Amino acid sequence: MFDLEINFKQILNNYDVFANPFNHQKFMSLNEQKPLKPVLLSEQSGHWVFDVQYVNSDYFASCSTESSLKIWNSHTLKLEKEFFGHETNTMINSLLVLNSNIVVTGGSDSNIFVWDIKKGNYVCILTGHNEWVTKLVKVSDWEFLSLGNDRVVNLWNILKKKSVAHYIGHKGKINDMTHLRYTDIFLTCSDDKTIRGWSLLESNACVFIYNVPINISTSPQSILQIKDDYFLTGHQHYILVWKISTAQVMKQFKAHNDYVSGLKLMNGDCFASLSLDKTFSLYQIEGLKLIANFNGHQNQVTGISSLDLNTIITSSLDHTIKIWK
C-alpha cells in the first residue's frame, strides 16, 4: 500500500499533472455556432437504447435491449451491419469503441463480446463476471476495464484474450469508473460512498480511498476525470469537483432537475452530463461554464458521442437515437 502511494505520486510528477493540459487547442463555444437541433435517426420499436458511440467519421455503434450491436452509416444515417452473439433477450447496456476496427459490448448475460466490425465477426468472448456487465472503459487500443454488478472490475487484454488483473474491495455496488490519463491508475465510485484509486499494474492494488463528505447525503453515481488533477462525481441533481492531489471537493453545483446519470468527456475542453430529466448539458471545463442544455428526448439520456461538436448523437430510454446538428 505504501509503495503504491509513492509510485502514484511519482507518476503524477512524471506527467506534470498540475499543469494546464488544454493550451494545445482553442475551444470554440457552441454559443458561437448555430443552435444544434435534434433529428430522429432511429426508433428502436420498444427497445431501450443504452449507448451510442462514434467508431470513426464514417460509422457509429449503438447497443440496446435488442441483444445486438448495430453499426450505422454516419453519412446516410442508415443501419449498415448488425452483430448477434449475446444470449437471446440480453440487455446490452455497455459499449466501447476500442479502436477503428474493434468494438466491445457487455450485458445482462454477464458476457463480454469483442467484435471486429471490419471482418464482420467476433474476436472472442470474455467471461469473468457473475452478473450484469455495466461499464466498459478504454485503457489502450488493446486493453480495457469492465465493471459488473458483482462489485468486480476486470482488466482485459484482447491480444491475450483474457483478464490480466481483477479488483475487489468496495462494500457496495460500484456505479462507475474512469481511467486517469497518462497514468496506471483508475478510479471507481460506489454506493458505499467512497471513491477508490486502483493500480493497473497489480490485481486488487488499491492506491487510495476518498470518502464522500458527510454533508453529501447520496452516493456517487457517475465519475469522470476532466483534468489531470481533477475529476467529477454525479450525486442526484449535483456535480462535485474533486482535486486528486488533496482528496478534497473543490466545488459543487446543480446540473440537472433529476439524477445525473452519466458524465462523458467530449474533447479536451468540454464534457457532457446526462440526466434522468430527459436532457443533456455541455460544459466548458475551464471555469465549468455551462455551454448549453439540450431538450428533445422523452426519457433518460443514456449515451452521447461526437467527433467535433458540430454533430452530436445521443441515445435514450425513449427507444430512440437522435442526431443533433
pLDDT value, residue 267: 84
Regarding predicted confidence, which is higher, 89 or 5?
A: 89
CATH code: domain of residue 226: 2.130.10.10
Residue 137's identity, in one-letter code, is V
DSSP class of 158: T
* Stretch 10-38: mean pLDDT: 41
pLDDT value, residue 46: 73
pLDDT in tens, 286-298: 999 999 999 999 9
- Decide: helix, strand or coil at residue 248: strand
CA-based nearest residue to 227, from 248, 244, 250, 208: 244
DSSP string, 62-123: EEETTSEEEEEETTT--EEEEEE-SPTT--EEEEEE-SSSEEEEEETTSEEEEEETTTTEEE
Task: Answer yes or no: is pLDDT of 40 > 70.
Answer: no
pLDDT in tens, 76-103: 989 999 999 899 888 988 999 999 999 9
Which of the four pLDDT bands, split at 50, 70 and 90, describes residue 5? very low
pLDDT in tens, 180-211: 999 999 999 999 999 999 999 999 999 999 99
DSSP run (H or E) holding 6:
helix 2-14
pLDDT in tens, 213-245: 999 999 999 999 999 999 999 999 999 999 999
Task: Answer yes or no: is pLDDT of 29 > 50.
Answer: no
pLDDT in tens, 145-185: 999 999 999 999 999 999 999 999 999 999 999 999 999 99
Residue 127: count other Cβ atoms within 10 Å of its Cβ: 13
Task: Answer yes or no: is pLDDT of 20 > 70.
Answer: no
pLDDT in tens, 235-290: 999 999 999 999 999 999 999 999 999 999 998 799 999 999 999 999 999 999 99
Extract the C-alpha cell encoding 143. Answer: 486493453
pLDDT value, residue 67: 87
Residue 188 CB contacts under 8 Å (≥ 6 apart), including other chains: 147, 153, 167, 170, 174, 176, 177, 195, 196, 198, 223
Write out the residue range of the structural domain in which residue 20 sits. Answer: 2-324
Which of the four pLDDT bands, split at 50, 70 and 90, describes residue 45? low
Question: Domain count of the chain?
Answer: 1
Task: Answer yes or no: is pLDDT of 44 > 90.
Answer: no
Extract the C-alpha cell encoding 82. Answer: 448488425
User: What's the rounded Cα separation, in Å, for the pair 272 and 54?
Assistant: 15
